[in-house]
Amino acid sequence: MTTVLPHNLLQTNPCIRFSGLLCRPENVAQLRAHIVKLCLALSEDLCRKVVTNARVRLQEVVRQNGGHIEHVLH
Protein backbone atom coordinates (compact mmCIF):
# COMPACT_ATOMS: atom_id res chain seq x y z
CA MET A 1 0.00 0.00 0.00
CA THR A 2 1.39 3.38 -0.98
CA THR A 3 0.63 6.47 1.03
CA VAL A 4 0.27 9.61 -1.05
CA LEU A 5 1.37 12.82 0.61
CA PRO A 6 0.07 16.18 -0.59
CA HIS A 7 2.34 17.37 -3.42
CA ASN A 8 2.95 20.70 -1.67
CA LEU A 9 3.38 19.39 1.88
CA LEU A 10 6.94 20.62 2.31
CA GLN A 11 6.12 24.02 0.82
CA THR A 12 3.07 24.61 3.00
CA ASN A 13 4.55 23.27 6.23
CA PRO A 14 8.35 22.89 6.19
CA CYS A 15 8.44 22.11 9.92
CA ILE A 16 6.59 18.96 10.77
CA ARG A 17 6.29 17.70 14.34
CA PHE A 18 6.45 13.95 14.86
CA SER A 19 6.30 12.33 18.26
CA GLY A 20 7.55 15.47 20.01
CA LEU A 21 10.48 15.84 17.62
CA LEU A 22 10.72 18.71 15.19
CA CYS A 23 11.47 17.47 11.70
CA ARG A 24 12.64 19.83 8.97
CA PRO A 25 12.81 17.57 5.92
CA GLU A 26 14.42 18.95 2.79
CA ASN A 27 12.50 16.59 0.54
CA VAL A 28 9.81 13.94 0.61
CA ALA A 29 12.40 11.14 0.79
CA GLN A 30 13.76 12.55 4.07
CA LEU A 31 10.23 12.95 5.42
CA ARG A 32 9.42 9.36 4.51
CA ALA A 33 12.65 8.09 6.11
CA HIS A 34 11.82 9.97 9.32
CA ILE A 35 8.29 8.57 9.43
CA VAL A 36 9.57 5.02 8.88
CA LYS A 37 12.18 5.47 11.64
CA LEU A 38 9.53 6.65 14.09
CA CYS A 39 7.13 3.84 13.18
CA LEU A 40 9.83 1.22 13.68
CA ALA A 41 10.52 2.67 17.14
CA LEU A 42 6.92 2.14 18.31
CA SER A 43 6.69 -0.55 20.94
CA GLU A 44 4.00 -3.20 21.12
CA ASP A 45 3.14 -1.93 24.60
CA LEU A 46 2.54 1.60 23.31
CA CYS A 47 0.30 0.28 20.52
CA ARG A 48 -1.74 -1.70 23.07
CA LYS A 49 -2.14 1.41 25.24
CA VAL A 50 -3.33 3.45 22.26
CA VAL A 51 -5.91 0.82 21.29
CA THR A 52 -7.11 0.52 24.90
CA ASN A 53 -7.43 4.30 25.16
CA ALA A 54 -9.35 4.49 21.88
CA ARG A 55 -11.70 1.72 23.05
CA VAL A 56 -12.45 3.60 26.29
CA ARG A 57 -13.17 6.81 24.39
CA LEU A 58 -15.39 5.10 21.82
CA GLN A 59 -17.36 3.30 24.53
CA GLU A 60 -17.91 6.65 26.25
CA VAL A 61 -19.10 8.22 22.98
CA VAL A 62 -21.66 5.41 22.72
CA ARG A 63 -22.72 5.94 26.37
CA GLN A 64 -23.11 9.67 25.68
CA ASN A 65 -25.17 9.00 22.54
CA GLY A 66 -22.53 10.73 20.44
CA GLY A 67 -22.26 13.64 22.87
CA HIS A 68 -19.21 15.31 24.30
CA ILE A 69 -16.62 13.25 26.15
CA GLU A 70 -14.32 15.97 27.48
CA HIS A 71 -14.46 14.45 30.97
CA VAL A 72 -12.81 11.29 29.52
CA LEU A 73 -10.04 13.28 27.86
CA HIS A 74 -8.61 14.53 31.17
Domains of the chain by residue range: 1-41, 43-74
Q: Is 24:14 a contact under the CB 8 Å cutoff?
A: yes
pLDDT at 33: 87
Tens digit of pLDDT per residue, the chain (74 long)? Answer: 455 556 565 555 555 555 555 567 777 888 888 888 888 888 999 889 989 988 988 898 898 888 877 776 65
Cα pseudo-dihedral 32, 34, 37, 42, rounded to 10: -100
pTM for the full predicted model: 0.48
